[in-house]
């Protein structure tokens, strides 16, 4: 643990394990089981470590408000159902999605390696985190992983007048020889909801084309989007089609709720969307030709050769390396608040 003071703010740096332990204590203190606390703390601390601030400790108040409202069950024990040689279902039992994934993870890997491809269909689950932490570990084991999760109504389908879809991200991870895996995690909305919240908090305007106000008129004000407005899909009708696909895969195919189906009115403070999540994992050692990881490394080399400076995910890997070196910096006030929550 080290301290530093800059002109604008004092920070204190924690190691990943220190931050994880602190967050775990917070989750347990606010009603989750130890197992759930471990999974959520690990996820949230890794986001903070990698500079994914919209899904780091910024999310803790939302988690705790949802737990306090009894909207999500922090003690839930996921039920894993082994349905077929390539198909696993998990009923997350109104708990978080990540413990459901953790419960099925070994079986999912085993099936992907034996069947060549396997799907994990999680329903009845709450996902309040970034999606890349769910796929990246598979790439580290030499597997290719794709995941989608739907969320809560805040995106207007292209050509419609009112919001219906969630921000509905798509995350993908693939191994790469001699380097970090190729990983991306993209909201199918023009901007992630967490980034709108952060811009609103900082008083920044957004670029044009991100959202509409409560009258359905285009706005660059993040507060107008949050105050009864809505987001737009990225890339017009194409992003909208992908967002629809995410609803179908993450909800219709899992047995979970669509983003517009759950009603949390009786749980003031609830913030975690109660939907579903789908993961598809493929074993590239089953494919023809050269090693997948060699081929993906070749693709990245060629992308750099045509002038690409930064791969998707590179910023996170750079932040991760910095955090490993110097610790994860947190504002002293923010850290004091976290410590108070852990008591």
Q: Which residues are catalytic?
A: 54-55, 195
CB of 323 to a copy of itself, least distance (A): 24
Nearer to a copy of itself among residue 96 and residue 258 (C-beta): 258
- φ, ψ for residue 283, nearest 5 deg: -95, 105
> CA 294, CA 314: separation in Å to the nearest integer?
19
The residue behind tokens 């917070």 is: 26
CB of 316 to a copy of itself, least distance (A): 13
Q: Which helix (H) or strand (E) holds 10?
A: strand 10-14
CB of 300 to a copy of itself, least distance (A): 9
> CA 217, CA 178: separation in Å to the nearest integer?
48
Which residues, in sequence order, are CB contacts of 213 under 8 Å at separation 6+?
A: 219, 221, 224, 225, 227, 228, 229
CB of 77 to a copy of itself, least distance (A): 17
The residue behind tokens 């219709």 is: 252
For residue 138, the Cα-to-chain-centroid distance in whole angstroms is 15
Nearer to a copy of itself among residue 51 and residue 86 (C-beta): 86
Nearer to a copy of itself among residue 203 and residue 207 (C-beta): 207
Nearest to 232 by CA among 161, 170, 184, 171: 161
Nearer to a copy of itself among residue 179 and residue 303 (C-beta): 303
Q: Are the beta carbons of 27 and 43 closer than 8 angstroms?
A: no
């Amino acid at each position: 643990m080290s301290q530093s003071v800059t002109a604008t703010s004092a920070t204190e740096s924690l190691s990943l394990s220190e931050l994880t332990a602190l967050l775990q204590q917070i989750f347990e203190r606010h009603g989750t089981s130890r197992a759930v606390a471990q999974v959520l703390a690990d996820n949230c601390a890794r986001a903070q470590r990698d500079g994914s601030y919209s899904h780091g400790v910024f999310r803790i108040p939302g988690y705790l408000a949802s737990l306090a409202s009894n909207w999500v069950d922090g003690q839930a024990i996921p039920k894993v159902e082994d349905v077929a040689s390539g198909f696993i279902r998990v009923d997350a039992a109104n708990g978080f999605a990540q413990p459901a994934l953790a419960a099925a993870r070994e079986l999912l890997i085993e099936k992907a390696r034996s069947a060549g491809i396997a799907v994990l269909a999680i329903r009845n689950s709450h996902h309040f985190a970034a999606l890349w932490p769910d796929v990246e570990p598979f790439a580290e084991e030499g597997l290719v992983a794709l995941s989608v999760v739907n969320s809560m109504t805040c995106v207007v389908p292209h050509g419609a007048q009112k919001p219906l879809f969630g921000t509905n991200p798509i995350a993908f991870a693939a191994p790469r020889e001699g380097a970090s895996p190729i990983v991306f995690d993209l909201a199918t909305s023009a901007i992630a909801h967490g980034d709108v919240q952060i811009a609103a908090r900082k008083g920044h305007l957004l670029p044009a084309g991100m959202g509409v106000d409560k009258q359905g008129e285009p706005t660059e004000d993040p507060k107008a989007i949050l105050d009864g407005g809505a987001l737009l899909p990225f890339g017009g009708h194409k992003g909208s089609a992908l967002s629809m696909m995410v609803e179908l895969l993450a909800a219709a195919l899992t047995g979970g709720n669509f983003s517009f189906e759950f009603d949390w009115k009786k749980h003031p403070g609830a913030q975690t969307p109660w939907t579903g999540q789908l993961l598809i994992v493929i074993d590239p050692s089953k494919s023809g030709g050269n090693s997948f990881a060699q081929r993906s490394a070749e693709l990245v080399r060629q992308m750099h050769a045509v002038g690409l400076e930064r791969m998707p995910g590179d910023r996170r890997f750079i932040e991760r390396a910095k955090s490993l070196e110097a610790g994860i910096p947190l504002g002293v006030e923010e850290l004091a608040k976290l410590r108070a929550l852990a008591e």
